[in-house]
A and B are shown apart, each in its own frame.
Chain A
Amino acid sequence: MDNDAKLPESEEGTVLFSVDPVIIKQHYEIDYLHSYAQDSPFFAGLARKKLMGSLCPGCGRRYATPRGHCMECGEPTTWSELPHEGRIHTYTTCYFGGEAFLQETPFTLILVEFAGVDTLFLSRLVGAEPEEVAIGMKVRARFLRNCKFKPTDVYFVPA
């Protein structure tokens, strides 16, 4: 037994914002082992410059954003390549955003509609000023050469 036991002291301090009440900086960060699981072929497709959507063999519904089972009839879907050209269904230019995207502002978000496909695809539009963007405008997909396996590996430009 040591009656004079001591914890070692450290040089690290705490960032303090206020003493009434006491407000300190509390850091939190984490890396996940994130699996795209059944959606993996979409992200693998981006590296091959392919846009992979879903087709329901049960009811024929076509999805621009993939899903493993049909939203309407519940059947398992199959993979189906989407065209690289579509039209803007709606759009916005963001001048603010979540912290992770603040440096990228302003950026333009679009929902893309493809002929014969029942649902839409969220992406970014580059190469057009905010006032040049319009609903119905033709757009064409481009792909990053250095794939990051994220949905931003594909983006759209005016067609």
Chain B
Amino acid sequence: MSKVHVTTSVNGDEVEFLADPRETLLDCLRDHVGLTGSKEGCGTGDCGACSVTLDGTLVCSCLVLGVEADGKRVETIEGMADGTVLHPLQRKFIEHAALQCGFCTPGILVAAKKLLETNPNPTEEEVRYWLAGNLCRCTGYDKIIRAVMDAAAELRQEAA
């Protein structure tokens, strides 16, 4: 199948790649753009390890075709820190030991960032339901929820 030229913005940088029309955005990010931070845990949109935002919308990049990213803005885990300064969510995940194997962590961080942009003061239940599409098999979610709540509190304090 002949490839399609795709021009997109990834974490603020203009990026071009050739995509087979059958390839997912996740495949394109990992294999053509060289950003392997987004993970494939299922390929069916059930685990959330591939979470990115596309024009600001939280998506499973395994359910989006690479060609669909043409002319759009993609944000991935690799763009989350501001240079050497971690996003408060990233910092709180380390502080709270909210990761064990770390494989689901990029997707959870991307999803949690979108949550806090949408709802800066979520309840525990709201965090749990927002992250219900991000599977973690190691932690039982306890420390993840605490890290997200703590980051939310810190971000609110910064904003105040």
| A and B from one complex | no
